A and B are shown apart, each in its own frame.
Chain A
Amino acid sequence: MTIQEQPVNFENYQRKDFSSDSDVRWCPGCGDYSILAQMQRVMPAICKEMQIPRENIAFISGIGCSSRFPYYMNTYGFHTIHGRAPTIATGLSLSRPELQVWVITGDGDGLSIGANHLIHALRRNINIKILLFNNRIYGLTKGQYSPTSELGKKTKSSPMGSMETPINPLTTAIVSEATFVARAIATDSKQLQDILLRVAKHKGAAFIEILQNCNVFNDGAFDDYADKSARAERTVTLEHGKPLVFGKDRDKTFTLSPTSAGLGLDIVKMADLPESELIIHNESADHNYLARLLASLDEDDYPVPLGVFRCIDKPRYGELLDDQIKQATLNQGRGVLMDHLRAGDTWQVN
């Protein structure tokens, strides 16, 4: 526990103000270190830009390697039980709307044991920020396949290969009507910080898949495109209002595939496409078609989209609830306990 001797003006937080005195105990080389570092680096900017003091920030996690995260942040933190972090965060956020509530989860915690809660927190548009660290493996229990592991994955619990089609975190979030959906690579510090800052500012349920390498049990899971040398050709960064461009020479883009009735994407050379036919990324579109299409691209055949898929404004459960409280109080007057007990039919005994 680090106790701040004097209250810090939230204009002037430093990175160190957000690191607790707990020893960080992830395996050396774990992708989680980078995520923690980017969060601690970006927190001063979040507090400054949003005018929020450190004590109003809470990190809630479930179980798994990723869920150790709150211990290392010098904010309020609650390391809860497997899969249930979104529920505890929901209770906290709805009862204390002024707090900034983050949920830290992983592919097992969030998409296996806790998938139900994840879906419902997103569709209710609870004002919480869910970071899902996806390493496509169970790390804390030492190496079983996870719900995002690829079909055929050989692990201790699947020596002849996993027989399960993996779940797609992003399409799951999008069809659950999350109002902010993004993907980042743990080791891309600049992009991750930018997205974390945007997530902090988003009002409503935000979901970010962070591709994070488990160097012990699933090393190199994302090397094919997360590696710096491969990123230009193998990833595409989504930018609102701009065409979807990728490639070392930024010469490639997508077009709606004529062979699948426009329901898929084909890769084309920029030069071969008239400017008027470029697909412009629109993260705030009313519909989620393009976001879904981009999120479902097969990583073996297409570059992997990174950045913000969707960012829309929709009524938030917490505000609707508080509006009902205001409305009921306006209509009925603030309730009075003794009157409430006496409401209805009473009689007098003398």
Chain B
Amino acid sequence: MTDNNELKRDSIEIEGAVIRFAGDSGDGIQVTGSLFTHGSALLGHDVSTLPDFPAEIRAPVGTLPGVSSFQLNFSSYDIHTPGDQPDVLVAMNPAALKVNLGELAPGGTIILNSDSFTPADLAKADYAVDPREDLTLSGYQVYPIPISSMTVNAVAPSGLGIKQASLCKNMFTLGIVSWLYDRTIEAIIVFIDKRYGNSRPEMAAANKLALQAGYNYAETVEMFTGKFHVSAANLPSGTYRRITGNEATAMGVLAASELSGRPLFYASYPITPASDILHELSKLRHFGVRTVQAEDEIAAMGIAIGAAYGGSLGLTGTSGPGMALKAEAIGLAVMAELPVVVLNVQRGGPSTGLPTKTEQADLLQAMFGRNGESPLAVIAPSGPADCFYMAIEAFRLAIKYMTPVIYLSDGYIANGSEPWRLPTQAELPVINVKFHTDTERPLPYARDPETLARPWIIPGTPGLEHRIGGLEKEDGTGAVSYDSENHQIMVRLRAEKIQRIANDIPLLEVHGPKQGDLLVLGWGSTSGAIRQAVDRASKKGLSIAAAHLRYINPWPLNLGEVLRNYRHVLVPELNSGQLRLLLRAEFLIDIIGLNKVKGRPFLTSEIEAKITEILAGQGTRQQKRKSRQQIASR
């Protein structure tokens, strides 16, 4: 305690900071960022992160396409996003500086690895002139530090070769930044010991030497004007861990298995950014989890359907291109009315698109991307921790309504992380599974009068042998039927069954006044930025509220009523207006869109600007008319 008090004495108290670590994709940037985040979480800060890495496994070292970055927002108050602009940029080479400088806050701090500002590296980053020597960096606080060479010197006692030794430069950097934000390095040492302690003791020693050296350097050189202290955030009490969306999704489906008592069966074909879910679930054999790395996306869907037919929790996961391939088989699950969950961790499209960048452009594909009318449930987690709860929901609904469920996550949620207050067992729902065994009621398509679900009759049940398939079913018996009247009945029944899910999901909650000038409505990963923008606007006295859709098909019963309580409705989406299209069609309300397709999440400031535009301009109609006139006069 004495030590801590001494540390705090000469530090400046701040509410929070946004740091971006950037360097070559081989520089260990993601590890550096994760470790610093981990340290923040342990100090009780609220944290939110945004990793950003190139699609190429290893682009040429030092070039612009090879830049990887990790942004972290940590704070003593409740935050919702990784932050719009970094306050601090750590750039391990000129390319990292060039790619990231534009987003640094005015007057921000830059820590540079000056060893990497050689003519060759400058050329690779397309710098004709060293940016340290012209006006490029004026207005920023720049700290050039010879990180590579000092790391190699510091690590010398471990006996590692120069190449291996210089790999420890991310730890040196972490030492510097740890000092700058007034924190000890113990948690990182614990991590290093865990990772290398037994297997590669020389690496453990080298990393610790580099870390300590960086910390000592920052303390000794008196280069920095001061250090900063961020106090613990005022979070609800409980046990916390840090979690990414993909981790939470994997834990959620595991929880669904444990809560329902049915084994989980995951079939998947590796695809960015969904592969982590396969990796996580493959580690869970001791829970009886079966995983198959299928030969292709279609096979993964087929295997999940086969598992569901047999009474397991059938699950597959993919991203947009994989969804396109699975479409026909998802239609089979609609027709066969089997409970199977399809995870789509969305990325930029169309086609191969932007594998490592985020987007929300698969919503209409999820809704309609199959032949014929094939309705199914669509849900979307609103953030990394919410993935846990929505993954449980996916299976609860799939089983209760005997339907495929599409779960729309995205790259931002999948790789981003936040603190998660762990639930207690009592806080988790119960999932009832009852296989049908009653030979007095043998019909495979006899429906539950309340939910319209058909019974789940699994092979192995005596006396209920029956045949199902993709051909149209006769209502009730499930026999093949080409009858025209029956087809119409079945199309309506399948739609009505999905619609009845609306009776079984929470009403849409509004954050802010129940009526007013503007409602900002989002879905999926935009939740944090919307919430923050709306909070800021409402502090300015604007009549504004936020709401977030986690259930998209069907949506909450009160959605129309909520929308009509506001003069304007704004829907920000990382697509060209897909939810807006659905809402306009259903409710005939002239909803305003804010649409961005840059492979990156919304900045809070972008949503704030749109809010200001709508409310200051007193209605978008005038502005629209004006812009139409401008276009016409060109």
Which A residues lie at the B interface, using CB under 8 A?
1-4, 7, 20, 22, 53-58, 60, 63, 70-71, 74-81, 84, 86-96, 98-99, 116-117, 119-120, 321, 324-325, 327-329, 331-335, 337-338, 340-342, 344-350
Assuming A91-B267, A325-B290, A346-B241, is B467 touching A70 (CB within 8 A)?
Answer: yes
Assess whether B463 is interfacial by the CB under 8 Å rule: yes
* List of A residues within 8 angstroms of B301 by Cβ: 87
The complex places the Cα of A99 from the Cα of B307 at a distance, in Å, of: 12
* List of A residues within 8 angstroms of B470 by Cβ: 63, 79-81
Assuming A341-B422, A346-B240, is B302 touching A75 (CB within 8 A)?
Answer: no
Flag if A91 contacts B314 (CB, 8 Å). Answer: yes
* List of B residues within 8 angstroms of A341 by Cβ: 241, 251, 255, 422-423
* List of B residues within 8 angstroms of A86 by Cβ: 302
User: Within the complex, what minimum Cβ distance (angstroms) separates A18 from chain B?
Assistant: 10
Flag if A79 contacts B469 (CB, 8 Å). Answer: yes
Flag if B307 contacts A55 (CB, 8 Å). Answer: no
* List of B residues within 8 angstroms of A119 by Cβ: 295
Assess whether B511 is interfacial by the CB under 8 Å rule: no
Assuming A321-B290, A329-B285, is B465 touching A88 (CB within 8 A)?
Answer: no
User: Within the complex, what minimum Cβ distance (angstroms) separates B198 from chain A?
Assistant: 17
Which residue of the partner chain, among A3, A20, A53, A78, contacts B469 with CB atoms under 8 Å?
A: A78
Assess whether B9 is interfacial by the CB under 8 Å rule: no
* List of A residues within 8 angstroms of B331 by Cβ: 81
Assess whether B117 is interfacial by the CB under 8 Å rule: no
The complex places the Cα of A345 from the Cα of B331 at a distance, in Å, of: 42
Closest residue of chain B to A337 (Cβ to Cβ) is: B258
The complex places the Cα of A92 from the Cα of B340 at a distance, in Å, of: 13
CB-CB contacts of B417-453 with A at 8 A, as 1s and 0s? 0000111110000000000000100110000000000
* List of A residues within 8 angstroms of B246 by Cβ: none
Which B residues lie at the A interface, using CB under 8 A?
38, 41-42, 44, 232, 235-242, 251, 254-255, 258, 263, 265, 267, 284-288, 290, 292, 294-296, 298-312, 314, 328-329, 331-332, 336, 421-425, 439, 442-443, 458-471, 477, 479-480
20 A-B residue pairs with CB within 8 Å: A1-B442, A55-B464, A55-B465, A81-B470, A84-B298, A87-B299, A87-B300, A91-B305, A91-B308, A95-B307, A95-B310, A116-B299, A329-B285, A329-B288, A335-B287, A341-B255, A341-B422, A347-B44, A348-B238, A349-B235
Assuming A95-B265, A95-B306, A116-B295, is B241 touching A79 (CB within 8 A)?
Answer: no
User: Within the complex, what minimum Cβ distance (angstroms) separates A280 from chain B?
Assistant: 36
The complex places the Cα of A90 from the Cα of B292 at a distance, in Å, of: 10
Flag if B238 contacts A349 (CB, 8 Å). Answer: yes
Which residue of the partner chain, among A70, A324, A350, contacts B285 with CB atoms under 8 Å?
A: A324
* List of B residues within 8 angstroms of A1 by Cβ: 442-443, 466, 477, 479
Flag if A347 contacts B42 (CB, 8 Å). Answer: yes
* List of B residues within 8 angstroms of A98 by Cβ: 460
Known: A91-B304, A96-B310. 20 other contacts (CB 8 A): A7-B462, A75-B465, A76-B459, A78-B467, A79-B467, A84-B329, A86-B302, A87-B301, A91-B305, A91-B314, A94-B290, A321-B290, A328-B286, A329-B285, A337-B258, A337-B287, A345-B41, A347-B239, A349-B44, A349-B237
User: Within the complex, what minimum Cβ distance (angstroms) separates B248 from chain A?
Assistant: 10
The complex places the Cα of A53 from the Cα of B459 at a distance, in Å, of: 11
* List of A residues within 8 angstroms of B287 by Cβ: 334-335, 337, 340
Closest residue of chain A to B283 (Cβ to Cβ) is: A328
Assuming A95-B263, A325-B285, A335-B287, is B302 touching A90 (CB within 8 A)?
Answer: yes
Flag if A3 contacts B463 (CB, 8 Å). Answer: yes
User: Within the complex, what minimum Cβ distance (angstroms) separates A86 from chain B?
Assistant: 8
The complex places the Cα of A99 from the Cα of B421 at a distance, in Å, of: 42
User: Within the complex, what minimum Cβ distance (angstroms) separates B416 from chain A?
Assistant: 17
* List of A residues within 8 angstroms of B290 by Cβ: 94-95, 321, 325
* List of B residues within 8 angstroms of A53 by Cβ: 462
The complex places the Cα of A340 from the Cα of B285 at a distance, in Å, of: 13
The complex places the Cα of A99 from the Cα of B477 at a distance, in Å, of: 24
* List of A residues within 8 angstroms of B44 by Cβ: 347, 349
Flag if B336 contacts A78 (CB, 8 Å). Answer: yes
User: Within the complex, what minimum Cβ distance (angstroms) separates B475 from chain A?
Assistant: 14
Assuming A324-B285, A349-B235, is B459 touching A92 (CB within 8 A)?
Answer: yes
User: Within the complex, what minimum Cβ distance (angstroms) separates B30 from chain A?
Assistant: 17
User: Within the complex, what minimum Cβ distance (angstroms) separates A184 from chain B?
Assistant: 25
Flag if B286 contacts A332 (CB, 8 Å). Answer: yes
Closest residue of chain A to B251 (Cβ to Cβ) is: A341
Flag if B237 contacts A87 (CB, 8 Å). Answer: no
User: Within the complex, what minimum Cβ distance (angstroms) separates B373 from chain A?
Assistant: 17
Flag if B299 contacts A84 (CB, 8 Å). Answer: yes
The complex places the Cα of A327 from the Cα of B467 at a distance, in Å, of: 36
Closest residue of chain A to B457 (Cβ to Cβ) is: A76
The complex places the Cα of A2 from the Cα of B466 at a distance, in Å, of: 8
Flag if A117 contacts B310 (CB, 8 Å). Answer: no
Question: Which of B38, B300, B305, B477: most chain A CB closer than 10 A?
Answer: B305
Assuming A120-B295, A331-B286, is B477 touching A88 (CB within 8 A)?
Answer: no
The complex places the Cα of A117 from the Cα of B469 at a distance, in Å, of: 19
User: Within the complex, what minimum Cβ distance (angstroms) separates B514 from chain A?
Assistant: 31
The complex places the Cα of A344 from the Cα of B243 at a distance, in Å, of: 10
Flag if B310 contacts A337 (CB, 8 Å). Answer: no
Flag if A92 contacts B309 (CB, 8 Å). Answer: yes
Flag if A348 contacts B239 (CB, 8 Å). Answer: yes
Question: Which of B251, B288, B464, B469: most chain A CB closer than 10 A?
Answer: B469
Closest residue of chain B to A7 (Cβ to Cβ) is: B462
Flag if A88 contacts B305 (CB, 8 Å). Answer: yes
The complex places the Cα of A349 from the Cα of B290 at a distance, in Å, of: 35
Flag if A94 contacts B265 (CB, 8 Å). Answer: yes
Assuming A84-B298, A90-B292, A117-B295, is B439 touching A347 (CB within 8 A)?
Answer: no
Which residue of the partner chain, among A56, A84, A91, A346, contacts B460 with CB atoms under 8 Å?
A: A56
Flag if A78 contacts B468 (CB, 8 Å). Answer: yes
Flag if B461 contacts A88 (CB, 8 Å). Answer: no
Closest residue of chain B to A99 (Cβ to Cβ) is: B459
User: Within the complex, what minimum Cβ distance (angstroms) separates B15 from chain A?
Assistant: 18
Flag if B467 contacts A87 (CB, 8 Å). Answer: no
Flag if B285 contacts A328 (CB, 8 Å). Answer: yes
Which residue of the partner chain, among A70, A89, A96, contacts B311 with CB atoms under 8 Å?
A: A96
Question: Which of B241, B308, B311, B331: most chain A CB closer than 10 A?
Answer: B241
Flag if B463 contacts A80 (CB, 8 Å). Answer: no
* List of B residues within 8 angstroms of A93 by Cβ: 306
Question: Which of A20, A321, A325, A333: most chain B CB closer than 10 A?
Answer: A325
Assuming A331-B286, A345-B242, A349-B235, is B425 touching A338 (CB within 8 A)?
Answer: yes
The complex places the Cα of A118 from the Cα of B241 at a distance, in Å, of: 44
* List of B residues within 8 angstroms of A79 by Cβ: 467-471
